[in-house]
């Protein structure tokens, strides 16, 4: 107990260290990230399986060019989105470093940059979804495209997978905004660095998921 | 136990890097992304197997960079490494297993 209190005095953190000797909130977030890893792996695996299973059929009927995003969107947009999310990870870690050294002006600048980059990613994905929908990719297992009935789960698995990622990014932006205003309102709170670290961990995780999606879905 | 707790508390403070280091990591990750896209553009010239191998290696390097340096898992408390690496290993294993099971070559879809 005394060791725990001593650690808190040194770090200036709130007393939330559990019996494992680590901050319970951070441990909980890492456990959440572990479960999210399994969740996104399930979505990506399902997408890859249905993509492979329907690719040959769609290619034979000449539909692949219309149903595979990289055939008519190219990878230009998704490369920009990948760069945006990567840049936001950098600004996030710079915001964390600034919060630990209590440079609050720098912290606000880098966190605002992260919020803007994250919002840009969400807007870019919304544009991509709209474009894909108008090109014929639908969130349905069966639909009519240019007078021909298409049976494919490609659209469903694609939109569910990337949609859930986009939802995570959106929630991350909301969390970032909440932390921004909380730190601005309670600048002297000793919990600030940990609050920033927690949202940072989550934010880097959504970047990590995009690294996997960008490679496995858009490049391969 | 107390010694263990103290070790983890020190570990939780994890490695502290200067902002220059983070800029360097960000630059390396950006270069890796650029190489990935460049390889995608010339994939017909280098062959599918080589394209996949290089792409996977680059993606793994990028993921490791984000997890180890941006998420500070390197040098952080072992319990954090455990609660992330165990489900990650399980996830990769399940992914490869299911892709094999549903493969056209050897799986039930073949």
- The reply to whether residue B7 touches residue A21, judged by beta carbons under 8 angstroms, is yes
Residue B10 banded pLDDT, cuts 50, 70, 90: very low
Q: Which tens digits make up the pLDDT trace of A48-88?
A: 888 877 776 667 766 666 666 566 666 888 999 999 999 99
Mean pLDDT calculated for residue range B43-58? 90
CATH number of the domain where residue A124 is located: 1.20.120.80
With respect to residue A18, please indicate whether it lies within any of the assigned structural domains: no
Given a cut of 70, whether residue B11 has pLDDT beyond it is: no
From the list A3, A26, A31, the residue facing B5 with the nearest CB is: A3
- The reply to whether residue B91 touches residue A38, judged by beta carbons under 8 angstroms, is yes
Q: What's chain A's average pLDDT?
A: 85
With respect to residue A9, please indicate whether it lies within any of the assigned structural domains: no
For residues B1 and A27, which has the higher predicted lDDT (pLDDT)?
A27
With respect to residue A41, please indicate whether it lies within any of the assigned structural domains: yes
With respect to residue A4, please indicate whether it lies within any of the assigned structural domains: no
Given a cut of 80, whether residue B79 has pLDDT beyond it is: yes
- Supply the ipTM of this predicted assembly: 0.83
What range defines the domain where residue A137 resides?
A: 27-219
- The CA-based angle A104-A26-B62, given to 5 degrees, is 80
With respect to residue A11, please indicate whether it lies within any of the assigned structural domains: no
pLDDT value of residue A3: 42
When computed from its CA atoms, the radius of gyration of chain A, rounded to whole angstroms, is 21
Domain boundaries, chain B: 2-76, 78-110
With respect to residue A144, please indicate whether it lies within any of the assigned structural domains: yes
Total domains in the fold of chain A: 1
Strands (E), A44-201: 142-145, 148-151
Task: Concatenate the DSSP letters of all residues of chain B into one string.
Answer: -HHHHHHHHHHHT-----HHHHHHHHHHHHHHHHHHHHHHHTHHHH-HHHHHHHHHHHHHHHHHHIIIIIS--TTS-HHHHHHHHHHHHHHHHHHHHHHHHT-TTTSTT-
With respect to residue A5, please indicate whether it lies within any of the assigned structural domains: no
Q: Distance (Å, rounded) from C-alpha B68 to C-alpha B62?
A: 10
Q: Determine the residue among A82, A215, A217 to mutate to test chain B binding: the one whose Cβ has the most chain B Cβ atoms within 10 Å.
A: A215
Given a cut of 50, whether residue A9 has pLDDT beyond it is: no
Given a cut of 70, whether residue A12 has pLDDT beyond it is: no
């Amino acid at each position: 107990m005394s060791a725990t209190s001593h650690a808190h005095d040194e770090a200036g953190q709130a007393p939330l260290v559990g019996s494992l000797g680590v901050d319970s909130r951070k441990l909980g977030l890492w456990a959440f990230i572990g479960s999210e890893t399994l969740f996104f792996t399930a979505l990506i695996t399902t997408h890859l399986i249905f993509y492979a299973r329907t690719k040959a059929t769609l290619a034979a009927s000449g539909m692949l060019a219309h149903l595979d995003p990289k055939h008519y969107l190219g990878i230009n947009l998704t490369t920009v989105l990948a760069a945006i999310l990567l840049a936001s990870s950098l600004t996030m870690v710079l915001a964390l470093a600034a919060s630990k050294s209590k440079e609050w002006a720098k912290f606000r600048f880098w966190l605002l940059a992260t919020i803007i980059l994250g919002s840009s990613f969400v807007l870019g994905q919304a544009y991509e979804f709209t474009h894909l929908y108008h090109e014929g990719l639908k969130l349905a297992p069966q639909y009519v495209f240019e007078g021909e009935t298409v049976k494919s789960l490609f659209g469903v698995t694609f939109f569910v997978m990337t949609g859930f990622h986009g939802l995570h990014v959106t929630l991350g932006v909301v969390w970032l905004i909440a932390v921004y205003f909380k730190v601005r309102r309670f600048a002297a709170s000793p919990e600030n660095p940990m609050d920033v670290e927690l949202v940072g961990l989550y934010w880097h995780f959504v970047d990590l998921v995009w690294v996997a999606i960008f490679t496995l879905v858009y490049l391969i | 136990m107390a010694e263990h707790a103290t070790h983890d508390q020190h570990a939780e403070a994890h490695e502290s890097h200067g902002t220059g280091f983070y800029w360097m990591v960000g630059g390396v990750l950006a270069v890796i992304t650029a190489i990935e896209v460049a390889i995608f553009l010339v994939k017909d010239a280098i062959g599918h197997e080589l394209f996949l191998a290089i792409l996977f290696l680059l993606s793994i390097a990028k993921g490791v960079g984000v997890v180890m340096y941006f998420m500070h898992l390197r040098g952080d408390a072992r319990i954090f490494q455990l609660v992330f690496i165990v489900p990650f290993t399980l996830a990769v294993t399940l992914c490869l297993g299911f892709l094999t099971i549903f493969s056209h070559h050897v799986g039930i879809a073949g």
